[in-house]
Amino acid sequence: ADHSYSRWGARVWVREKEQLVPATVNSCGDGTLVLTTDYGECTFKQKVTREKVYAMHPSSIDGVEDMSALAELHDAAIMHNLYQRYQKDNIYTNIGSILAAVNPYKQIAGMYDMERVHLYSKHQFGELPPHIFAVANECYRCIWKRHDSQCVLISGESGAGKTESTKLLLQFLSVMSQNSAGTPLAEKSTRVEQAIVQSSPIMEAFGNAKTVYNNNSSRFGKFIQLHFSECGNIQGGCVIDCILSLTALLDFSHLPTFMNDLCS
């Protein structure tokens, strides 16, 4: 049997209230373990069994850039890996061809500058650390490699960063379009690219609202199409918006009647 979890300083999973919690062994003896969870809680475990405490796999201890490489595939290992990376400002993590992004709620220096754009444009998916630009570049490359349309689905809860991720994708593709078209450095983008990128704030002005978790929450979904020429530059596009739910609509048509009834 594997009793590596009984060593001082060993990293383990401890089962608490039907959940697995990452913890560190502080002391052990007489069949009792003293553990400190990653959330600062101290716990005592007597008559330790494999069901209550077991050793953490090295892949979970060190963390991985691609969670398909995790040896332990359960919710706790996934959340722990995301948390470890988040603490180091590594907000992006791959799950195979899927990119998981955790909103940092702060600016990270150099994360989206032009130097980073050019870096990811020169490498294939997986050669560099996970990034939204890696996804955008893979789509751009596959258009020419497979001669087929590409699709990116961005989903998440309110405040997760869906709108900003969309803007970053458009930013990267806009730069790639300029490079393929030979646009002079003095010109930031063509009129088509400007129209597509700058349409987002206009739509947000009419379709966004403040919620508990997000001061700029989109109350609508967007389907964006970009049309590329054979040379690789953007020639056109369209933005189709759709309301998320009827509860997002307010009808004030009966407000005067209601106010009159209230006053009377």
Model confidence over 8-50: pLDDT tens digits?
A: 888 999 888 888 999 998 887 776 788 888 888 887 776 677 7
Q: Which residues pair with 237 in a beta bridge?
A: 226
Domain assignment present for residue 255? The answer is no
Q: Which structural domain, as residue segments, surrounds residue 35?
A: 4-56
Residues 119-137, mean pLDDT to the nearest whole number: 96
- Which secondary structure element, helix H or strand E, spans residue 225, and what is its range? strand 220-228
234-243 and 53-55 beta bridge pairing: unpaired
- 130 and 186 co-located in one domain: yes
- Let me know if residue 80 belongs to a domain: no
Question: Do residue 50 and residue 144 come from a single domain?
Answer: no
Q: Does residue 221 form part of some domain?
A: yes
Number of domains in the chain: 2
Is 158 assigned a ligand-binding role in the annotation? yes
Q: What angle do CA 94, 96, 101 make, to 5 degrees?
A: 25
Q: What are phi and psi of 258, to 5 degrees?
A: -65, -45
Q: How confident is the model at residue 262 (pLDDT cuts 50, 70, 90)?
A: very low
pLDDT in tens, 150-206: 999 999 887 888 889 998 999 999 899 888 766 654 455 566 767 777 777 777 777
**Annotated binding residue 160:** yes
Domain-embedded: residue 109 = yes
161 has binding-site annotation: yes
The two three-digit tokens of residue 239, written as one number: 């933005």
Q: What is the CATH number of the domain that holds 37?
A: 2.30.30.140
* pLDDT above 90: residue 106: yes
Is 87 part of a structural domain of the chain? no
Residue 110 and residue 215 in one domain: yes
45 and 137 assigned to the same domain: no
DSSP run (H or E) holding 102: none
Closest CA to 197 of 220, 178, 169: 169
Averaged pLDDT for residues 235-244: 80
Is position 137 within any domain?
Answer: yes
Amino acid at 92: Y
157 is in an annotated binding site: yes
Q: Do 50 and 98 sit in the same domain of this protein?
A: no
Q: Please report whether residue 42 resides in a domain.
A: yes
Q: What is the mean pLDDT of the chain?
A: 82
Q: Is residue 163 marked as binding?
A: yes
